[in-house]
A and B are shown apart, each in its own frame.
Chain A
Amino acid sequence: MATTTSQQVLLCPAELAYLHSSLSLTPPIRPDGRTPTHFRPLVAETDILPGTNGSARICFADGTEAIVGVKAEVEKTRGVEEGVEESEVREDEKEGRSEWVELTVEIPGVRDDDGGTAFLSAMLGEALLSDGGFVKRLWINRRWHWKLYLDILLISPPLSYPLPLLSLTTHLALLATRLPRLKSEGVEDPFFDDDWAAAPYLYPRDKKSGKALARPPVTLLVMAVGRNIIFDPAKEELAVADVALAVSVGEAAETGDNDMGGKGRKLRLLSVRTIDPPSRVTPPGVPNATNAAYGAAGTTQKQPEARMAEAEAVEGVWRAPRGGAKPLVMAALVQKTLERGGVADEVLDALEGVDLG
C-alpha cells in the first residue's frame, strides 16, 4: 500500500459529495463529459534525445509531461566462469537477471528517497521485470549482457498521479531503443558494429510495416466509484475514488493469431497494485443533524469530525471511503482492462500509432 499519492485536492466536502454521486450514476457522468473508458488526448514523440539509445516524450492534456531516456552499457555477467572452450551457444541458455535493469524516477520538487517516488519506480520496474522476457533481450552471451539504465523524468509539476504517464513514456522509449549490432559470435568478447544505422531495435520490428513485433508492458490507472469503473481518472475524479488500482498489462508471449484468426492481441495481466487514493485524506462533510451551526446538540464538542467518523453515512454528505476494494469490483476491473478491444488494447493501438524512429 502506498502512501497518499499526491497533493491535496482543493475541493470542499460538498463538492466531493456531488462529484462522487455523479460518478456513481449509471452511466457515470464525468466532470469533463468523457465516457468511463475514454482516454484524454496526449502528444507523444520518440527519439528526442540523440545521445541516448532510445527516448520518448509524452505530454498529457492536463499539462503533465514526462521524458524517458534509455542508456545501455555492456557489462560482464557476474558469477560466470571464464573460459571459452565451449563456443556453441544454445538457445535455452539465454537468461536474464533483474539487476540488469536500473530504473530511476525523478519527480520535480520531491526528494529521490521519497516513499512515493520509490513506490512509483518499484511499480514501473515490477511491470517490466515480472515476465522474464524483457531481461532476456539484454542477454549477449554467457559472459556478457547489456545493462540498461532507464531515466524517467517528470518534467512538469506532479499535477495528478503520474504513474500512467511515466509508464506510457517508458513504453515508447523502450520501443525506440536500439542496441549496437553484435559482430562477434558465440561466447567471444562482444564486438560491435560502429554503424549506428545498423543497430537493431531492442523490440524487433516487422521489416515491412515497421511495427514492433512485441511490445513492452504498460501500467494503467483505473478507479472505481460505487460499481462504476473509470479509466484514466482526472485529478478531481481520483479525489473521490473508492478504490484506485495500477494494472500492468503485457502482451502474451505468443500472439493469438493462430487460434483466434484475424488481428488482435492476447493480453496478460502482469500485476495489480492498490493505490492509496487522495480521497482517503479528504475532510468529511458534517450532516445538518450534527452541525452546531444548525443548532444541533452537543456543540461543546471540539472535534465533531472525529465523532462523525463513527456515525452512519448520511446521504449527500461526503465521507472519505474506507476499507479496500471489494473482490467483485476488482474482478470486474481486471476483466474490463484485459477484454479484447478493451481499454488496454485501445491504448496499445494508439501507442502503435506513434511514429517511431
Chain B
Amino acid sequence: MASIKRSLDSDPLQASISSKVYVRSTKSGKVQKIVREVYLRQDIPCSSKLCRTCQKMAPTDSAGRPIPFVLSEAPAGTSVYPNGHYLVPDTNAFLSAMDLFEQSSAFYDVVVLQIVLEELRNRSLPLYNRLIGLTKSEDKRFYVFFNEFRLETYINRLEGESVNDRNDRAVRQAVAWYSEHLARTSAGKVPTVVMLSNDRENLKKAKKQGLAACSLAEYVRQLKDGEHLLDMIPETEDGDMIKEKKPNEFLYPEYFSMSKMMTGVKGGVLHQGTFNVSPYNYLEGSIRVPAFPKSLLILGRENINRAVDGDLVVVEVLPKDQWKEPSTQVIEEEAVTKDENPDTEEAGGLVTERERKALQEEVKRTHSKTTEGHAQPTAKVVGVIKRNWRQYVGHIDQTSVSQSAQQGRKQDTVFVIPMDKKIPKIRLRTRQVAELIGKRILVTIDAWDRGSRHPTGHFVRSLGELETKAAETEALLLEYDVQYRPFPKTVLDCLPKEGHDWKVPASMDDPGWRDREDLRHLGICSIDPIGCQDIDDALHARPLPSGNYEVGVHIADVSHFVRPNNAMDMEASIRGTTVYLVDKRIDMLPMLLGTDLCSLKPYVERYAFSVLWELTPDADIVNMRFTKSVIKSREAFSYEQAQLKVDDASQQDDLIKSIRVLMALSKKLKQKRMDAGALSLSSPEVKVQMESETSDPIDVKTKQHLDTMSLVEEFMLLANVSVARKIYEAFPQTALLRRHGAPPKTNFDELANQLRVKKGLELSVESSRALADSLDTCVDPKEPFFNTLIRIMATRCMMAAEYFCSGTQAYPEFRHYGLASEIYTHFTSPIRRYADLVAHRQLAAAIEYEAVHPSVRSRGRLEAVCKNINVRHRNAQLAGRASIAFYVGQALRGKATQEDGFIMKIFSNGFVVLVPRFGIESLVRLRDLAEPEPTAEYDAETYTLTTSGSREIKVELFQKVKVLVTDQKDETTGKRGVKMEFVKAY
C-alpha cells in the first residue's frame, strides 16, 4: 500500500492566485472559516511621477483619462536622505502619531500600504477616517498602494509566523520593491524609500535587509525644526523602557476579558452602558443600563477604574453594604489634586490624602442620616468595550510645571486640565512647556495604564493665547465637535453655476416651474430676529369669501438645490445643523444657498415649499394642502419692527392687516395647545450686545419675549404637525419625525420633594397637562421670578427631544411631550437643519411632486442620519450656550456688580446661584465665604445650610440672595471665570 500527496501546485495560474484564510465570528455567535481568493496582478502602479513604466499602464477613470499620479518627482529631503524620500509608515506609526502626519510642515509623499490601512481600520475607525481624509487631500500627496494585490509585494504567511510578523514583513517587502522599482527609473535623483516604524524588531530586520528605516523620533529629528514635532510622538513610544511593575504596584484593578464581559452582559450579571461623570464631582459617575429604571452610581477612582466620560463600559453592581447616596459635596479635581507632581506620581497611592479626606466627610454624612432608604445602588467598572476618546481642549496646570522647565528645551511632564470638567487631568510630556503655558492647547489621550493615576496623552497643537476670542471660539467648536472647516471644493461644485445671479426662471415652461404653483400675487412677508440673513420661513393670511382665512406658511425650497446623495448633501448630513455662536455662525449649507438663493429675501422671487390651510376664525383647520411654489416676499420684518407696526393702530396697509389676522389666529392656536397640556418651559436666555466695530461685548441683556415671536412659532408648529401627519401617512415606516419622550416620574422626585419641603407646593407629573397646570400654581407672590426658576429647573428634569424614523417606534411613542402633540417633525428650517431637508424630500414624494429617492426610503440610512443629527443638534446647543457664557464673562471683565440671584442647588460645602440678569449660574463655596472656612451644618431634609464660626449665614434652597458678580482669573489654572461672592440673603 502506498500513498502520495498531490499538491495543488501543478496549477499553471498558481502564481497569480493566492488565498487568505481566517476565522470570522458573527454576531449571532456563529464561527466560520472564511477563504478568500486573492488575485495578484502586476498592473498596480507605484504612482510616482518619476516612473515611466507605471504611467504606461496607469488606470483610467470612466472618461478614459488616466488617473494622475500622486507622489512628487522631487520629494523633500532630510538631513539623512538628501536625495528626497518617500515615506512608508507601518500601522503603529499611524496609530500612535496620526497628528504628525496631519502636519503641514512635513510628512509629504507618503505611501499608505493597503495592509496598513486595513490594520488601522480594525484597530481604530476614527484614525482610519482621518487617514482616508489625508489620502483624499491633494496637497499632502498620500497614495494608497494596494500591496496585497500586487504580485511582487504579496507574501504568503510562513509556517509558525504570527499575523503581525507577516504584516511587518509585507511592509518591508513593499519598501524593498519600491526602492528597487524606483532605482530602475532613469531619474537623476532617486528618492529613498524610508520605512517608518516604532517597532524595534521590524526596524532591525529592515536594516538587515538593507532598507532605509527609522523610528518616528529619529525621523522627526532629521527634519527642520523637528523639535516641535517631537511632542506629538506619544509616550508609548518608549514603551519597553518603562520598567516592569510588580502586581502590587498597579493602582487600578485589571479589566475583565472581552468574552467574560460579553457572557456576563448576556447572562444579566454585568451591565453595559455609557459612562457619565457628574459635572459637580469628578469622582462620581453614573451609568444608565437597560436593566434598571434608574442609573447606577459609580463612586471613587478605584470603581471608576480608568473610565473616561463617554466611554462604553461594563459594570458590576456592588454588594448592598457598599450602596451609597450621591454626594452632596462639590469636588473639583483641580482643587483636590492641585499640588500633585506629575513626575513622581507613581510613588503615591491611588487615592491621595485630600481625596481620602473628602471621602471621610462623605461617610460621616451618610452615617449621620437617620433615614436609610436613600442609599442608591452602586457599581464598579470592570471593563471598557469602547473608548470614546477624542481630542480635548485644555491648558497646562501651571503648578505642575517645575521651575527648571520654564526655560530650556528639556522634556518635561506636566498636567493638562481639560476644559470639560468631566475629563480627568491628562499627563503630558512636552519639550515646549515655556511656550505652551497660558495657551489653549489641543491634546489627545493615548493610554491609561493600570499603573498610572492619570491618563497619559500628547500634545497636538496650540490654539492660541487663553481668553483670546479666536482661541476660545475654536476651542468651543473643537470641544463640541462642530465641523467648522470651509466647505471643500466638491461641495461648492454642487452649487448652481449662475451663483448670485441665479433667478427664478422667467418662462413658466422652464423645468424649474414644473408642478409649481404661482403664489407671487400673495402678500407674503417674513418675521425674524434682527439681522437674520438665512430666512427660512415666510407667512401670509387673507380672508376668504366664506369668512374663513387662508393662511400660508412658505418655507425655503432647499431640497430643490440640494439633491440627495451629492457631495453637498453628504456634507450637510454630517454637519446636521447650523451652529450659532455669539459672533459667528457655522453654516450647514454654503453661504450662497443659505443667505441668498434659498433665503426668502424680500422683493425677489424665490422657490418655496408652501403649506396652505383654510382656518376658521377660531383657528380650526377646515382643509390644508401642500405645494411647491414660487413666492415673492413683500417685506422682511424683524420681531421688534413687526410688533411696533401691529401695535400702531395707524398702520392699515394690507400687510400689517394680515399680520394682525395671523396674530389673532396664533393666540387661539396657542390657547388650544395649552389646553391640550403643552408645557411652557424656560431656560435662562440672554443676549450679548457687541460694540459694532470691535465686536467686543459691552453688555448682557435678557431676551425679551414679543407676541410676534409666538406668532411665528405657532404657525411653524402648526406646519410641522401638519407635515408630520402627511409624511407619516405616506411613509409609515420611514417618515423622519421628532419625539419628546415623557420623562420618567423619578426624574421629578427631587424637585417635587424640594417644592413640598420648602414651599409646601405639590408638583404633579402624571401627564404633561398635570405638570403644566401645577407649574402654573408654583408662584411666589413676593417673587415673580420664582415661577421661571421652577420652570428652568423642571426643564432640566426632562428628556431630550430626538429625531427618529417612524418604523423604529410604536405610534403612541411618537408623542411630543412638551408640545403635547401626537406627532411632530421639523419642516420649517431646512437652511439650518438637515432633518427639515429630509422632511422636505419626503413631503415632496408624498405629494407626488417627485419620485421617492432611495435615501429617504431606506430605514437603515435614515436611522444613521437621525443618530447623527441628534448628536449634532445637542452639541450645537451646548456650543451656543458655552459661547454665550464666554462672552458674558468677557463683558463682565473688570466690572463688579451686585446682582440678585437664586439658590438652585445646595451642597454641604457650597451652593449654586443663578443670576437671571446674566443667565449664568455659579458655585459659591463655603471656603470662599471667610478665612478660615466656616464650619457648616447641612440639613439635607430641609435643604438648609447653616454656617457658624468665622461667618454666620443661613441659606436655603430657592432663596433669593444678593451676590457680587466679578470676573476672576484663577491663578493656578490661568482660566478666567465668573465668580460670585455672597453678599447677603434676603
Contact = CB atoms under 8 A, between A and B. Distances in A.
Given A51-B33, A195-B23, A189 B262 contact: yes
Contact of A84 (B2, B3, B29, B269): B269
B23 A193 contact: yes
B659 to A, nearest CB: 66
A203 B19 CA distance: 25
A189 B262 CA distance: 7
B1 A347 contact: yes
Given A184-B260, A191-B262, A199 B23 contact: yes
A184 B35 CA distance: 24
Contacts of B25: 191-192, 194
A42 B2 CA distance: 6
Contacts of B162: 195
A194 B3 contact: no
Contact of B1 (A42, A51, A185, A192): A42
B5 A354 contact: yes
Interface in B9-32: 19, 21-25, 29-31
Contacts of B29: 74, 189
B23 A192 contact: yes
Contacts of B104: none
Nearest to A352: B3
Contacts of B390: none
Contact of A39 (B1, B161, B262): B1
| Interface bracket on B | 20 to 34
Interface string B246-282: 0000000000011110111011010000000000000
A180 B259 contact: no
A41 B1 contact: yes
A52 B161 CA distance: 22
B125 interface: no
B263 A355 contact: no
The SS class assigned to the B binding surface is mixed
Interface residues of A, number: 42
B24 A44 contact: no
A52 B32 CA distance: 9
A101 to B, nearest CB: 17
B1 A40 contact: yes
B167 to A, nearest CB: 12
A27 interface: no
B6 interface: yes
Given A74-B29, A185-B260, A50 B21 contact: yes
Interface string A287-307: 000000000000000000000
B35 A51 contact: yes
A109 interface: no
A211 B913 CA distance: 79
Interface string B758-787: 000000000000000000000000000000
Contacts of B260: 184-186, 188
A193 B269 CA distance: 25
A121 interface: no
B5 A82 contact: no
B65 to A, nearest CB: 40
Interface string B579-617: 000000000000000000000000000000000000000
A126 interface: no
Given A84-B269, A188-B263, A195 B22 contact: yes
Nearest to B161: A197
B49 interface: no
A272 B178 CA distance: 65
A72 B33 CA distance: 9
A197 B33 contact: no
Contacts of A185: 257, 259-260
B810 interface: no
A336 to B, nearest CB: 17
A195 B22 CA distance: 5
Contacts of A53: 33
Contacts of B24: 194
A196 B22 contact: yes
Contacts of A330: none
B5 A350 contact: no
B302 to A, nearest CB: 23
A180 B24 CA distance: 9
Contacts of A51: 33, 35
Contacts of A79: none
A190 interface: yes
B267 A183 contact: no
B649 interface: no
Contacts of A84: 263-264, 267, 269
B5 A188 contact: no
B157 interface: yes
A308 interface: no
A183 B163 CA distance: 16
Contacts of B266: 189
A190 B7 CA distance: 34
A15 interface: no
A29 interface: no
A23 B6 CA distance: 35
A85 to B, nearest CB: 8
Contact of A346 (B1, B21, B22): B1
13 contacts: A43-B3, A51-B35, A53-B33, A74-B30, A180-B31, A184-B260, A189-B29, A189-B263, A190-B31, A191-B259, A193-B23, A197-B157, A197-B163
Interface of B: 1-7, 19, 21-25, 29-31, 33, 35, 157, 161-163, 257-260, 262-264, 266-267, 269
Q: What are the 4 tightest A-B residue pairs by CB atom distance, in nearest-first order? A: A184-B259, A191-B259, A188-B263, A355-B5
Interface of A: 39-46, 50-53, 72-74, 82-84, 180, 183-197, 199, 346-347, 350-351, 353-355
Given A192-B25, A350-B3, 13 more contacts: A43-B4, A52-B33, A83-B267, A84-B269, A184-B263, A187-B263, A188-B257, A191-B25, A191-B258, A196-B21, A197-B21, A350-B1, A350-B2
